[in-house]
Amino acid sequence: MRLHFMALSCLLMFLGFERQGQERPRQAPASATVEQTCAPLGVVRTRTTLYFGLSKPGGAVTESEWRAFLQTEVTPRFREGLTVWQANGQWRESNGKIGHERAKVLLLVHEQSAELRPAIAGIISAYKRSFAQESVLWETAPVCAAF
């Protein structure tokens, strides 16, 4: 699986390319900006998105395997709710060719707490172990949410 190439590409786009000798303008911390814009309609939450490649040695993760993983590994850690959708990813391989892979995208909107980082790490570890994956792309950001 080559999701680590997608992760690197996303990270580089997020960080931007700085030219030597030039400083980037200083910005307010993202959480402070989000807090100011949330009120009065919403509250600050954390959005975590995980990208699970579905290719594995000898085939692909089946829908029933995915549902079992979701039920045993994800739902117990995030009982408040989650969203999953099917996606198609692509990345440039080290040989210059474009690689493609089906994926499941898991979206979690949750409070920021010390207990949740290990929960997310546990989901990632379990998926890599269960389906012989090299990586799971993970991203997180502060957001405004209202339920």
User: Does residue 18 sit within a domain?
Assistant: no
Number of domains in the chain: 1
Mean pLDDT of all residues belonging to the chain: 82
The whole-number pLDDT of residue 30 equals 53
Cβ-contact 58, 66 below 8 angstroms: no
User: Does residue 79 sit within a domain?
Assistant: yes
- In total, the chain counts a number of residues equal to 147
User: Does residue 122 sit within a domain?
Assistant: yes
User: Does residue 40 sit within a domain?
Assistant: no
In which domain, by residue range, is 69 found? Answer: 3-10+45-145
User: Does residue 134 sit within a domain?
Assistant: yes
User: Does residue 77 sit within a domain?
Assistant: yes
The whole-number pLDDT of residue 145 equals 93
pTM as predicted: 0.74
Cβ-contact 140, 48 below 8 angstroms: yes
Provide the H-helix boundaries in the chain: 3-15, 30-38, 63-69, 116-131
d(CA 93, CA 99): 6
Name the DSSP class of 134.
S
Low-confidence ranges of the chain (pLDDT < 50): 1-25
User: Does residue 39 sit within a domain?
Assistant: no
What is the separation of C-alpha 132 from the centre of its chain, rounded to a whole number of angstroms? 18
User: Does residue 90 sit within a domain?
Assistant: yes
Residue 136, beta-bridge partner list: none
The enclosing domain of 131 has a CATH number of 3.30.70.120
d(CA 118, CA 140): 14
Helix (H, G, I), strand (E, B) or coil at 48: strand
Q: Which of 52, 48, 49 is nearest to 126 (CA)?
A: 52
d(CA 14, CA 66): 29
